[in-house]
Amino acid sequence: MEVITLTLGPVSNSYLVRGEKGSVLVDCGCYVELADYQKEFAAKSIDPSEVKLIVLTHGHFDHAGSSDVARELTKAPVAAHKKALGFIKEGTFPPYKARNQHGQMFIDQV
């Protein structure tokens, strides 16, 4: 098994977990254009057809923002928690709730 870090956008990373029977793309990062995905895949020698599943850890913009682009490129299905569906389908999600001071600082910046 191999884990490849993909840098797609300025806020967060995506990870490709490559196995013997195919790969899983974990998170999709903020919204980026299809050409950005194609360029990153080419730079890391990733054939889009090797991706068998896209897994979103949660439905915030910095993890799921490019899920449509990733799905278009790879043709892989997307797996996510039901609470992430609002963002995936409509670009909306429940308001952030800070659990600590760092979280509140983030909310204040958004």
68-107 confidence digits (pLDDT tens): 899 999 999 999 888 777 777 666 656 667 788 877 887 7
Torsional sign, CA 21, 46, 30, 69: negative
For residue 30, what are the contacts with CB-CB under 8 A and spacing of at least 6? 8, 9, 10, 11, 12, 61, 62, 65, 66
pLDDT of res. 35? 95
> For residues 92-109, b (16+ Cβ closer than 10 Å) or e, as one string?
ebeeeeeeeeeeeeeeee
What is the DSSP track for 46-57?
A: --GGGEEEEE-S
The answer on pLDDT for 14 being more than 70 is yes
As a dihedral over the C-alpha atoms of residue 79, residue 85, residue 91, residue 92, rounded to 10 degrees, the angle is: -140
The more confidently predicted of residues 7 and 53 is 53
Residue-wise pLDDT tens digits, 19-60: 999 999 999 988 889 999 999 999 999 999 999 999 999 877
Q: Output the pLDDT for position 23.
A: 98
Confidence band of 110 (pLDDT split at 50, 70, 90): low
Q: What single-letter amino acid sits at 102?
A: H
**What is the token pair recorded at 74?**
């790879």
Q: How far is CA 40 from CA 25, 32, 48, in A?
A: 13, 11, 11
